[in-house]
């Protein structure tokens, strides 16, 4: 039963959301409190290199597990989930070896293309980051499977706290850019032992169930994840990172760093409320299953309304006052980041509504192909906005305006399709 109490009274989604939100919320508060120190230690150019570094890890990580990790909460039996984990680790091992070969041979050319040549001297941190990302992903999905929301919450807190303090400590110690990158790796790796402590008995018992036959069975049973969900996830991550990559190729390193801070700050409410809501929502509707589609419909409809109402006022405030807020909190060097944030805030409301519910609905109702098609649409919308920017030689501000409207349109049509799936299965 784990740490989740199945009482008759109370909404399990709200209980689990509260548990996740506690740890994540405390972590974000601490991180936000420490970020003004970090922005005064490191320059916008350092943040630009960090943004490219993180972008590589985020894009390579799904390729390194084929997203079989996402299927871990779904099997009824732990024996299948154990074999899914072994399958994910096997793919990770082969993928990381390939990354080491590619970066050791072609790293300089790759990083120079994105105006991040300094990253070549620390390329080995990218495969390490990918390993940490995927191992934590496996553990966090097991935590969702077992209802270990308190442990998951604590791990998220230590992740953020360790990363922020490390960046400050390394910066004050004179490590420079290397300290910023190591701090990011520690952000992704610390906290996993908190979950592992709780899951160790399960893993110890499950070792005897690891069979090549079951690994092959798991690979075939959940083939839709690498077949549809992986391309969809890659498209989504590449699309999300396209602004960083495009700015790296087209604009100055200074503007890349400013943009990275703007995107990072706008991600705070989404990672605080959106991600915690998403995990609790996914855990609950996966437990309900498609047989209880009417209940899933009611829960989702209510959640959409609450998410919209809670995001509209913060979105308006950011659109109007973001540049003043950024320069006051993070220093005068970051006023441009505030201006960027005011433009990007246009799509924040729509993203805040869609992100917590999209993946859960697509996974439970086995709509991986539709999810992929939607992300193809988003990819071409974003590419088109940057193509317009390139052809007409637009400024960084006008480029972000086109990007923001394109993303807003995508989230609107995605919310429509989620609602359509739920409405159709409710009948």
pLDDT tens-digit series, residues 312-348: 888 899 999 999 999 999 999 999 999 999 999 999 8
Q: Is 7 exposed, middle or buried (0-12, 13-18, 19+ CB in 10 A)?
A: exposed
Q: What is the pLDDT of residues 237-272, one digit of tens each?
A: 888 899 999 999 999 999 999 999 999 898 877 766
Same-domain pairing of 228 and 206: no
Same-domain pairing of 149 and 254: no
When the pLDDT of each residue in the chain is averaged and rounded to a whole number, the result is: 89
Give the pLDDT score at 8. Answer: 43
Same-domain pairing of 290 and 410: yes
Split into its structural domains, the chain has a count of 2
Handedness of CA 159, 280, 417, 340 (dihedral sign): negative
Same-domain pairing of 231 and 212: no
Task: Work out the average pLDDT over 383-391.
Answer: 95
> Of all residues in the chain, what percent carry a pLDDT higher than 70?
94
Give the pLDDT score at 183. Answer: 96
Contact in structure between 43 and 257 (CB atoms under 8 Å): yes
Same-domain pairing of 184 and 236: no
Same-domain pairing of 203 and 262: no
Same-domain pairing of 383 and 338: yes
Residue 310 pLDDT level (bands cut at 50, 70, 90): confident
Task: Work out the average pLDDT over 77-95.
Answer: 96
E strand segments, 135-274: none
Instruction: Report whether pLDDT(5) > 90.
Output: no
Instruction: Report whether pLDDT(22) > 90.
Output: no
What is the dihedral angle through the alpha carbons of 400, 406, 407, 409, rounded to the nearest 10 degrees?
150
Give the pLDDT score at 7. Answer: 40
92 CB-near residues (< 8 Å, 6+ apart):
64, 65, 130, 131, 134, 135
Give the pLDDT score at 125. Answer: 98
Same-domain pairing of 170 and 230: no
Identify which of 205-209, 278-282, 286-290, 296-300 has the greatest average pLDDT.
205-209
Task: Work out the average pLDDT over 280-286.
Answer: 81
Q: What is the pLDDT of residues 28-77, one digit of tens each?
A: 788 889 999 999 999 999 999 999 999 999 999 999 999 999 999 999 99
Distance, CA of 327 to CA of 330 (rounded, Å): 6
Among 314, 334, 310, 311, which Cα is nearest to 323's? Answer: 334
Containing structural domain, residue 331? 224-427
Instruction: Report whether pLDDT(427) > 60.
Output: no
Q: What is the pLDDT of residues 205-241, one digit of tens each?
A: 999 999 999 999 999 999 989 987 898 788 778 888 9
Same-domain pairing of 331 and 283: yes
Give the pLDDT score at 13. Answer: 61
Q: What is the pLDDT of residues 123-166, one digit of tens each?
A: 999 999 999 999 999 999 999 999 898 889 889 888 988 999 99
Residue finishing a domain among 187, 206, 222? 222
Same-domain pairing of 214 and 228: no
Instruction: Report whether pLDDT(391) > 60.
Output: yes
Residue finishing a domain among 207, 222, 237? 222
């Amino acid at each position: 039963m784990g740490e989740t109490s199945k009482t008759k009274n109370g909404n399990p989604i709200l209980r689990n959301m509260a548990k996740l939100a506690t740890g994540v919320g405390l972590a974000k508060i601490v991180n936000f409190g420490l970020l003004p120190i970090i922005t005064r230690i490191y320059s916008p150019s350092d943040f630009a290199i960090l943004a490219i570094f993180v972008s590589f890890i985020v894009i390579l990580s799904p390729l390194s597990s084929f997203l079989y990790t996402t299927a871990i909460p779904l099997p009824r039996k732990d024996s299948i989930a154990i074999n899914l984990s072994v399958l994910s680790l096997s793919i990770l091992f082969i993928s990381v070896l390939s990354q080491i070969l590619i970066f050791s041979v072609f790293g300089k050319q790759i990083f120079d293309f994105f105006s991040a040549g300094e990253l070549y001297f620390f390329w080995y941190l990218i495969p390490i980051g990918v390993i940490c990302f995927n191992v934590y992903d496996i553990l966090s999905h097991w935590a969702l499977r077992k209802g270990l929301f308190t442990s998951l919450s604590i791990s998220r807190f230590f992740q953020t706290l360790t990363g922020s303090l490390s960046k400050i400590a390394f910066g004050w110690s004179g490590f420079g850019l290397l300290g910023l990158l190591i701090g990011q790796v520690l952000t992704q790796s610390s906290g996993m032992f908190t979950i592992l402590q709780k899951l160790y008995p399960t893993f110890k018992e499950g070792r005897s169930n690891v069979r090549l036959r079951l690994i092959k069975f798991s690979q075939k049973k959940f083939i839709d994840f690498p077949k549809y969900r992986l391309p969809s996830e890659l498209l989504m991550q590449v699309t999300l990172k396209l602004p960083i990559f495009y700015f790296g190729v087209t604009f100055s390193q200074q503007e890349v760093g400013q943009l990275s801070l703007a995107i990072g700050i706008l991600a705070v409410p989404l990672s605080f409320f959106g991600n915690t809501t998403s995990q609790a929502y996914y855990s609950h509707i996966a437990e309900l299953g498609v047989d209880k589609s009417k209940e899933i419909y009611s829960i989702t409809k209510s959640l959409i309304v609450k998410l919209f109402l809670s995001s509209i006022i913060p979105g308006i405030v950011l659109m109007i006052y973001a540049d003043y807020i950024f320069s006051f909190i993070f220093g005068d060097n970051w006023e441009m980041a505030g201006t960027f944030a005011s433009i990007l805030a246009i799509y924040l409301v729509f993203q805040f509504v869609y992100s917590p519910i999209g993946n859960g609905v697509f996974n439970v109702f086995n709509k991986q192909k539709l999810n992929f098609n939607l992300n193809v649409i988003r990819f071409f919308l974003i590419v088109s906005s940057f193509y317009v920017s390139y052809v007409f030689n637009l400024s960084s501000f006008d480029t972000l305006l086109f990007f923001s409207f394109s993303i807003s349109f995508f989230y609107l049509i995605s919310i429509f399709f989620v609602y359509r799936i739920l409405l159709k299965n409710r009948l």
